[in-house]
Every structure is written in C-alpha cells, then in structure tokens.
C-alpha cells in the first residue's frame, strides 16, 4: 500500500540480494519440527513488517516449525524481481501487492490463480475484497488489509476540518497543500476521486480532461510533492503542508503517536486501498504457502495486525476493540461505497496521465 524512502529501498535491495544469494527456497531437509522447511514471503517495510511478524509469522513458525524468510520491500522492486524470473523459479513464494501492481503481475503471468478451497477461512473473507482480486472470473489474491484514502490535515493549522475532496481547493489552504504524484498510490487515488466525484469515469476522456482542468487550480498552491509515506509524513509534521490526500490507517497511527493531525473520510466517498497476498507462478512451496495463508486469514491473527496498524482486516468475523470501531470505517457496505480506482483503465494510461500532471506542476 506504499512506496518507501530511499533508505528503505536500499535496505530492501540489499535484503533481496541476500535472499538471492543465501535463501534456498527449496526444502532444506533438516530434522526439526518443520523438517527444515522454509517459506519466503515479501512484506512491506517498517511497522507493517514488525506487526506482520508478530501477528502471522511467529504463530505459524511456533505451530509448524517451518521457517518464514521475510523479504522487506515494496511493489516496484518485487515486480522487477518477478519479471526478471520470467515466471520461473521465483525469488519468493508469496508476494504482497496493492491493486496497481497486482494487475500487471496477473497480466504477466507472474502470479497464479488460487485454489480457493485450499485457503483457510476463505468463506469468512469480505466479498468486496475478494471481488477486487478477481480477474476474468478467477481469484488471484488473498486480501489481508483494507483502508481508504481521504484527507489528512493539521488540526492546529486548519481552522475548519475538510469534509470533502473539494475542500483541498480552498484558497485559505493555498501554499500549504501536499500533492502526491499519480505514480504514488494516494496521488492516483485522489485523481480518481476527482473524476468520479463529478460523476465521471476514468474511461471517459472528457471526464479525465475535466479533472486535470480542476487540478490546474492547485498550480502555485502546492508546497510539497511527496512520493512516499515518509515524505508525506515529514511534510505534514514539519508544517510544510497542512493537508494531503492520504490513508486512514497511517493518519490515525500518526495521531496516536502524538502528531497534531486529523483525517476526513470525504463526504462524496473515500477511495478504497487494498493489500493482498499472491502465490507466485512456479513456486515450489504451494502446499506450505496455502498453509501459511490460513494463518494470514485467521480472525484472531488479523485482529492483532489490524488494531496495530489501523487498517481493517479481510476476515469479516473480527471483533474489533471500541477504540478501533470509533475511528475506522469498515465492513462490506462501507467498501461498496468506496470510489475504487478502475485499474484496468488507469494502469495502461498512468504514464500519459503522469506526463500531463508534470506539465501542470513541474
């Protein structure tokens, strides 16, 4: 659900190199409880990784004796690794992707369709999240977390909390707006909201043109162009920007950590954001991978993960804490009302749209 800092990228590349050189994705044949078996799984870096290890990896390793090798990183480098493998002997068995990266992975046959009967707790998973991972009638991704993009703002700088997307164009905010580029998830999600919020569709060139015309109103008003989560949070925390399109979970985590920030679910509809696990093509560990996915979809495990990072889990049977329920909007009816990005349209048009965005702001 994010792209990361340069430091994190460097770290991830180093870990990937280490994985390529030192992690044997075949069974090692040891004599312990897990028979020396190992599974290699990607994970988003930072607090997400720490919570993933606590919520899913540790219970799985404790119960099975199987070692899970985590590969921290983000969509772009994992896609590059999978493309380099050509769909053969992949560097990891399970890869977590957001929808913008999942579509190219499916199209390139870098991930394989699921045998959903082998995924534990499948019947408890939210139907909207399953639908978003379905391509040509086949399920590919096992949803883990779902959040949404709205407006993050400084509570000590903004006199009146925004209520809808249009409030970002308020003249009182001019000079204090952070605007992610379209190549960074919140940027494209915000752009999609501009299109759909006016009754249009991304597939309609006239509606897209109208949204770009509206973006021109922000020319001269943007103080920061953050292209990853670290840059977003820095721009808000150091006062460079007072408002930015961003994710609810990250926003509430910042507030919990003491930042003077608030979050608005826009009245015309927040934009859905999803993270899901995919079984890589030609993985030699499919049985182990399906077994691990049963832990990833477990309601108890997901509750720990969800309440730690403020993103709802995919298991519909989670009983969240009162604190979580008071802040996060979740549930099938909520997800159906999200303004989901049409990635079938957006993915092939992204480079063209980013160029138009550059012509306005750069």
115 vs 132: CA distance, rounded Å: 17
Quick check: 4 pLDDT over 80? no
Q: Could you count the other beta carbons within 10 Å of the beta carbon of residue 319?
A: 9
Q: Residue 362 — pLDDT band, cuts 50, 70, 90?
A: confident
Q: Residue 9 — pLDDT band, cuts 50, 70, 90?
A: very low
- Of 326, 288, 331, nearest to 57 (Cα)? 288
- Of 350, 229, 330, 343, nearest to 270 (Cα)? 330
43 vs 209: CA distance, rounded Å: 37
- pLDDT tens per residue across span 47-69: 889 999 999 999 999 999 999 99
| Mean pLDDT across 3-28 | 35
Question: What does the pLDDT read at residue 16?
Answer: 35
Query: Are 200 and 210 within 8 A, CB to CB?
Result: yes
Quick check: 42 pLDDT over 60? yes
Give me the chain's average pLDDT, please.
90
Query: Which is it for strands 261-264 and 141-154: parallel, antiparallel or unpaired?
Result: antiparallel
Q: Which two tokens stand for residue 14?
A: 């180093």
Q: In 28-179, at which residue ranges do the beta strands (DSSP E only) sit?
A: 38-44, 67-73, 94-97, 134-135, 138-139, 141-154, 177-178
Q: Which two tokens stand for residue 154?
A: 């400084």
Quick check: 29 pLDDT over 50? no
Query: Are 100 and 189 within 8 A, CB to CB?
Result: no
Say what the pTM is: 0.83
Q: Which two tokens stand for residue 153?
A: 């703002």
Using CA atoms, how far residue 128 sits from 15, 23, 42, 115, 166, in Å, is: 34, 36, 24, 18, 27
* Domains and their CATH numbers in the chain: 38-146+272-333 (3.40.190.10), 148-270+342-361 (3.40.190.10)
Q: Report phi then psi at 113, rounded to 5.
A: -60, 150
Q: Report phi then psi at 143, rounded to 5.
A: -65, 140
- 362 or 166, which is more confident? 166
| Mean pLDDT across 180-198 | 94
Using CA atoms, how far residue 123 sits from 119, 174, 315, 318, 352, in Å, is: 9, 48, 9, 13, 40
Angle in degrees, 0-180, between the axes of helices 185-197 and 205-215, rounded to the nearest 10 = 110
- pLDDT tens per residue across span 239-290: 999 999 999 999 999 999 999 999 999 999 999 999 999 999 999 999 999 9
Quick check: 192 pLDDT over 70? yes
Which stretch of 3-12, 81-90, 248-257, 272-281 has the lowest confidence by average pLDDT? Answer: 3-12
181 vs 294: CA distance, rounded Å: 36
Question: What does the pLDDT read at residue 22?
Answer: 31
Q: Which residues contact 257 (CB under 8 A, 6 or more apart)?
A: none
| Mean pLDDT across 83-101 | 94
Query: Are 129 and 327 within 8 A, CB to CB?
Result: no
User: Helix or strand or coil: residue 24?
Assistant: coil
- pLDDT tens per residue across span 310-338: 999 999 999 999 999 999 999 999 999 99
Question: What does the pLDDT read at residue 32?
Answer: 57
User: Helix or strand or coil: residue 316?
Assistant: coil
Quick check: 12 pLDDT over 90? no
* H helix or E strand, kind and range, residue 271: strand 271-279
């Amino acid at each position: 659900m994010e792209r990361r800092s340069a430091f994190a990228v460097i770290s991830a590349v180093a870990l990937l190199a280490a994985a390529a050189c030192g992690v044997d994705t075949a069974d090692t044949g040891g004599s312990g409880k897990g028979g020396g078996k190992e599974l290699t799984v990607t994970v988003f870096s930072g607090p997400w990784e720490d919570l993933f290890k606590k919520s899913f990896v540790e219970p799985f390793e404790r119960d099975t004796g199987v070692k899970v090798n985590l590969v921290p990183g983000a969509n772009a480098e994992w896609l590059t690794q999978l493309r380099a493998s050509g769909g053969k002997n992949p560097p990891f068995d399970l890869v977590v992707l957001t929808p913008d990266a999942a579509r190219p992975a499916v199209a390139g046959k870098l991930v394989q369709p699921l045998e959903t009967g082998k995924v534990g707790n499948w019947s408890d998973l939210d139907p909207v999240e399953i639908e978003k991972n379905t391509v040509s009638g086949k399920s590919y991704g096992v949803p883990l977390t779902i959040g949404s993009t709205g407006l993050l703002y400084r509570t000590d700088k903004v006199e009146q909390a925004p209520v809808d997307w249009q409030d970002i164009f308020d003249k009182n905010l001019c000079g204090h707006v952070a605007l992610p580029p379209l190549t960074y998830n919140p940027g494209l999600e915000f752009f999609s909201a501009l299109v759909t919020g006016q009754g249009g569709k991304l597939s309609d060139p006239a509606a897209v043109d109208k949204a770009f015309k509206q973006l021109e109103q922000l020319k001269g008003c943007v103080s920061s162009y953050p292209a990853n989560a670290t840059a977003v949070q820095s721009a808000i925390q150091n006062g460079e920007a007072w408002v930015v399109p961003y994710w609810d979970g990250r926003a509430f985590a910042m507030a919990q950590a003491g930042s003077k920030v608030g979050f608005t679910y826009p009245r015309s509809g927040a934009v859905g954001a999803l993270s899901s696990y995919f079984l890589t093509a030609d993985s030699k560990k499919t049985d182990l991978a399906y077994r691990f996915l049963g832990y990833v979809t477990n309601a108890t495990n997901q509750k720990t993960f969800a309440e730690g990072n403020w993103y709802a889990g995919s298991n519909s049977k989670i009983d969240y804490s009162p604190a979580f329920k008071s802040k996060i909007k979740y549930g099938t009816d909520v997800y159906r009302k999200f303004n989901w990005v049409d990635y079938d349209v957006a993915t092939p048009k992204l480079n063209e749209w980013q160029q138009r965005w550059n012509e306005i702001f750069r």
